[in-house]
Amino acid sequence: MDPDEFRRIGHEVIDWIADYRSRVEDFPVRSPVEPGWVRGQLAGLPERGEGFDGLLADLDRVVLPGTTHWQHPGFFAYFPSNASLPSVLGDLLSSGLGVQGMLWSTSPAATEVEQHLMDELVGAFGLPSSFLGGGVIQDTASSAALVAVLAALHRASGGKWRQSGVDGTETVYVSSQTHSSLERAARMAGLGEQAVRAIGVDSRLAMRVDDLTSRIRSDVEAGRRPIMVCATVGTTGTGAVDPVREIAALCAEHGIWLHVDAAWAGPAALCPEFRGLFDGVETADSFTANAHKWMLTAFDLSLFWTAHPDVLVDALTILPEYLRNTATESGAVVDYRDWQIPLGRRFRALKLWSVLRWYGLEGVREHLRGHVELARLLESWVGASEDWELVVPRTLSLVTIAHRAGDEATRAAMDHVNATGDAFVTHTVVDGRFAIRVAIGAEATREHHVRALWDTLTGLPA
């Protein structure tokens, strides 16, 4: 494909994307196909190359029916995955450049644009100055959790972990509501499931500091070595917020790495009025927030900061001869390959840069505030209902509700909503009670979409 062919076909592809986005609301939010249907529609691989016309036709014929439409305004499931069109263009620019930014020398712009954006966002998020120079874009919060565990392990072992590995005494502390990626990170770091301590939660499903204190002291007395606590701002199930400041004081007492996971809620820190949720984050050793959830940036792009980049780099760096170069050896540059699990890395910062240049910080704040206001509106309808109630207090744009008649009624209402194709919600379980999570966050969602969801839940015609 030469540049002229690319130009012609590229226009067709952009037109296809634009047409899809303009009619995304016409599709059922959740794909209705049965397992195996998509594969059953696909032909064998061609021996000879063919044009893009057939591929675009297959997108309409096969891919769209088999797609759950995350950009649909009726998508209220899981957490949002904002792929705004400016970020799509930024992703295209990144792919078009085709750079591999593992080292500063392999693409200075890929490194320095990322450094600049991450430092600028420290101020925009209201994060501590200790995070300046410690920001890096990871693919997901799961990868951020793993590098945090590895950095914590490295610091706790005084660097010996690199040579001798774990000794079986290490412990990591999470709550029963912490994302499963933390337990997975502990496994991948070689700590095993036995190293993970699940701390109890209070009535708001936030980590109990008294229980954490007891477990840490018990482990220390038993000769164990606590290396990390993960506090969450906005848990996946219900949006619970752990008491970060109290947890931080305990971590400081015992020299434990504090990682704060704000994968979903993190972008809300852009709005000063929501920063109370992040009280104590300035004491954290590391912090993560997903731009690809609620910050208008196409998957995948997770923001990760650490106050100890030297520890992270020392934990992960390996420099084979074929990667040696003058810039690296000068010590004047950052090589992001040493800040992540894989060696190679995309120019992801272009996606985020495109978003921030198009919307501006105030545009992103308007996006966030709009969803919080819609959640407040839904919360008011639930409060006025005789049949529905909040299971836990609303957090930002996440509303967790249940039918007063019990689990069967709640599940039936959820299944009814999802069967319509007009909206998609998912569930959680709170103290044994089945509950519906309404996560408002799609870029195109407006009040009438939330009203239609509520009318369907309550049995009224949409």
d(CA 425, CA 435): 11
> Would residue 410 count as lying in a domain?
yes
How far CA 185 is from CA of 181, 190, 301, 309, 422, in Å, comes to: 6, 9, 18, 19, 36
Q: Which of 65-79, 170-184, 238-252, 380-394 has the lowest mean pLDDT?
A: 170-184
> Would residue 354 count as lying in a domain?
no
Range of the domain at 438: 1-30+68-85+360-462
127 with 78, same domain: the answer is no
Per-residue pLDDT reduced to its tens digit, 204-218 = 999 999 999 999 999
With a cut of 70, say whether residue 461 has pLDDT above it: no
Residue where a domain stops, chosen among 346, 374, 409: 346
Region 129-145: mean pLDDT is 96
With a cut of 60, say whether residue 29 has pLDDT above it: yes
Region 177-187: mean pLDDT is 87
d(CA 93, CA 356): 15
213 with 287, same domain: the answer is yes
131 with 272, same domain: the answer is yes
d(CA 78, CA 427): 8
377 with 251, same domain: the answer is no
Q: How high is the pLDDT of residue 460?
A: 61
320 with 431, same domain: the answer is no
> Would residue 44 count as lying in a domain?
no
Of the candidates 372, 332, 288, the residue with the CA atom closest to the CA atom of residue 118 = 288
424 with 364, same domain: the answer is yes
CATH of the domain at 384: 3.90.1150.10
DSSP structure class, residue 269: G
142 with 230, same domain: the answer is yes
**Residue 457, strand partner residues:** none
Residue where a domain stops, chosen among 303, 321, 346: 346
Per-residue pLDDT reduced to its tens digit, 155-173 = 999 888 888 778 889 999 9
With a cut of 80, say whether residue 437 has pLDDT above it: yes
Per-residue pLDDT reduced to its tens digit, 337-390 = 999 999 999 999 999 999 999 999 999 999 999 999 999 999 999 999 999 999
Q: How high is the pLDDT of residue 327?
A: 84
Q: Which of 22-26, 392-396, 457-461 has the lowest mean pLDDT?
A: 457-461
* pTM assigned to the model: 0.95
With a cut of 60, say whether residue 398 has pLDDT above it: yes
424 with 303, same domain: the answer is no
> Would residue 45 count as lying in a domain?
no
With a cut of 70, say whether residue 229 has pLDDT above it: yes
> Would residue 43 count as lying in a domain?
no
445 with 297, same domain: the answer is no
> Would residue 355 count as lying in a domain?
no
Q: Grade residue 182 by pLDDT with cuts at 50, 70 and 90.
A: confident
Q: What is the CA radius of gyration of the chain?
A: 23
Q: How high is the pLDDT of residue 165?
A: 77
> Would residue 42 count as lying in a domain?
no
With a cut of 90, say whether residue 181 has pLDDT above it: no
Q: How high is the pLDDT of residue 462?
A: 41
Helix, strand, coil share of the chain (percent; to 5):
50, 15, 35
With a cut of 90, say whether residue 328 has pLDDT above it: no
Residue where a domain stops, chosen among 323, 346, 369: 346
